[in-house]
Amino acid sequence: MYKSFIRPAIVCIFLVTLSTYPTYSQLFFTNGYIVLASGDTVKGEIRERNVQLINFRPNQSATILDYVPNQLIGYYSDGINHLTVDLTEDGRTSAYFMQEQTKGYVSLYRLFKPEGNLSHALRLPDKRFIPLRGNLSLLMLSNNLTECQSPAFKQMFNVHNFYPSSYKFEQIIKAYNTCVNPTQSIQKPKKVFRYEAGLSLGAAINGWVYGAADKQNSVYYNPYVSYSPTYAVGGGGFFTVAPQKRLSAGLEILASWYKGSRSIPLTDPLNPSNVDSRLYSFSETYFALPLTGRYIFADHAIRWYLKAGLVPTLSTNVSGKYSGSSLNLDADITILNRTNIGIGYLAGIGAVIPIAKKRHINIECRTMPHFVLDGVTRTATSRSLQLMVHIPFIKNVKQ
């Protein structure tokens, strides 16, 4: 019964899951500043491309400039300090932009995208940087963090307890600084939580397909078909996490309804000339909670994105009836659970459209079908083709 949902559901789960992983190439510009090799500070907007390249522009209308590590001392973006770090290995020196992860007597820096097995670097009190590369990081740490003789600290270098990870590196640096120089506080850069939330309004063409795939009694009459569309409105709210990233996740709440009918012809096998019909009608009010992932594939004056996800629903006031004039029929269709939970999916395309400085709206064209269930039995598939407008009112986004 649910085969028609398997493929869309797999695609939706994949996109939502993908949106929880970090994206290494920043899509949008964020406010910040750069520090030139000359020492001059220039405010503007920054977009990180990779660990050895950033884009910079003084304002939205200015020409985009490229900077590599040897041109900058560092930069500040998205609430995080970045330094140009020269790492020497096997007699060769390479420069990278590295994020400040922990600052103290000994500081820890990391690449926002690992280069092979190089992910972090130590900054020692004499200002030298030591690369931390995969399993070799244990040797680098033990050779350079020599001032602490605490048995508890040395136990952290036990090969059976050590694994190269951002968490483990930070744990070791924190313990070392506390042991060697407890009066110097350790400062960990505060990550900024980016989000936006607001109201959703739109128009919808809602429809119903009654019944399951096996159509009983279809020789005599077949009510298991599509019913007349309802031109409805939809309204609710939305919340998007990390909207400035190429991949982001979102949550919506949306309310809409369906009310439609269709005249179903009856076939009398004993008297084919005896023409009759029944009028079937159905109605439903539903609340949907789309859990979606969003992927922005074009960053121009208008930003275009694809959106998909799973949609839990709550259907209320589900009812159906049929009537026939010749037999004076007027009966309710048996629906035991008129309020029930269902499941569906959402898929569509949208655009972020600027309307003023630092103000925008999102417009989406999408489909959002869901199962209307009576207990665990499918009563119908409720379809919805929507044109939605999302208006952010609350946000913490620097673009």
Same domain? For 250 and 391 the reply is yes
Same domain? For 226 and 176 the reply is no
Picking from 180, 211, 237, the residue at the C-terminal end of a domain is 180
**Is there a domain that residue 211 lies in?**
yes
- Is residue 390 within 8 Å of 238, Cβ to Cβ? yes
**Is there a domain that residue 121 lies in?**
yes
Same domain? For 224 and 172 the reply is no
User: Quick one: DSSP state of residue 187?
Assistant: B
**Is there a domain that residue 151 lies in?**
yes
Same domain? For 108 and 214 the reply is no
- Is residue 306 within 8 Å of 294, Cβ to Cβ? yes
**Is there a domain that residue 186 lies in?**
no
CA distance 327 to 276: 9
Cα distances (Å, whole numbers) of residue 249 to 241, 304, 366:
5, 15, 17
**Is there a domain that residue 332 lies in?**
yes
CA within 13 Å, CB half, 260: 20
Residue found under tokens 């009836």: 321
Same domain? For 244 and 158 the reply is no
Range of the domain at 313: 3-18+193-396
Same domain? For 279 and 161 the reply is no
pLDDT at 242: 85
CA within 13 Å, CB half, 198: 18
**Is there a domain that residue 188 lies in?**
no
3-state secondary structure of 116: coil
pLDDT at 218: 58
How many angstroms separate the most distant Cα atoms in the chain? Answer: 102
Same domain? For 258 and 380 the reply is yes
Same domain? For 315 and 350 the reply is yes
3-state secondary structure of 59: coil
pLDDT at 80: 86
- Is residue 15 within 8 Å of 308, Cβ to Cβ? yes
3-state secondary structure of 11: helix
- Is residue 342 within 8 Å of 372, Cβ to Cβ? yes
- Is residue 317 within 8 Å of 282, Cβ to Cβ? no
**Is there a domain that residue 24 lies in?**
no
CA distance 280 to 227: 9
Same domain? For 169 and 227 the reply is no
Same domain? For 205 and 321 the reply is yes
Return all residues near 149 (Cβ < 8 A) that are at least 6 apart. Answer: none
Return all residues near 124 (Cβ < 8 A) that are at least 6 apart. Answer: 106, 130, 144
Picking from 156, 180, 204, the residue at the C-terminal end of a domain is 180
Q: Residue 230's domain is classified under what CATH number?
A: 2.40.160.20
Picking from 180, 212, 231, the residue at the C-terminal end of a domain is 180
Same domain? For 12 and 34 the reply is no
Q: Closest Cα to residue 88, out of 133, 129, 141, 137?
A: 129
User: Quick one: DSSP state of residue 135?
Assistant: G
* Domain count across the chain: 2
- Is residue 100 within 8 Å of 83, Cβ to Cβ? yes
For every one of its 399 residues, what pLDDT tens digit does the chain have, with 9 covering 90 and above?
444 444 554 554 454 444 444 444 555 678 899 999 999 999 998 988 889 999 999 987 889 999 999 999 999 987 789 999 999 888 899 999 999 988 889 999 999 888 888 999 999 999 999 999 988 999 999 999 999 988 989 888 888 888 888 889 999 999 999 899 877 655 555 667 788 999 999 999 999 999 854 455 556 778 888 999 999 999 999 999 988 788 899 999 999 999 999 998 887 767 767 778 889 999 999 999 999 999 988 877 788 999 999 999 999 999 999 887 665 678 888 888 999 999 999 999 999 998 887 789 999 999 999 999 988 888 899 999 999 999 999 887 654
Tell me which H or E stretch contains 149: none
Backbone CA torsion sign across 351, 355, 357, 360: negative
| Class of residue 249 by CB neighbours under 10 A (exposed 0-12, middle 13-18, buried 19+) | buried
Residue found under tokens 């922005």: 296
Q: Phi then psi for 285, rounded to 5 degrees? A: -115, 135
User: pLDDT tens across 51-71, in order?
Assistant: 999 999 998 788 999 999 999
pLDDT at 332: 87
Quick one: tokens of 321?
Answer: 């009836």
CA distance 262 to 225: 9
Same domain? For 387 and 243 the reply is yes
**Is there a domain that residue 298 lies in?**
yes
pLDDT at 291: 97
| Cα three-residue angle 199-203-207, rounded to 5 degrees | 125
CA within 13 Å, CB half, 370: 29
Count CB-CB contacts under 10 A for residue 164: 17
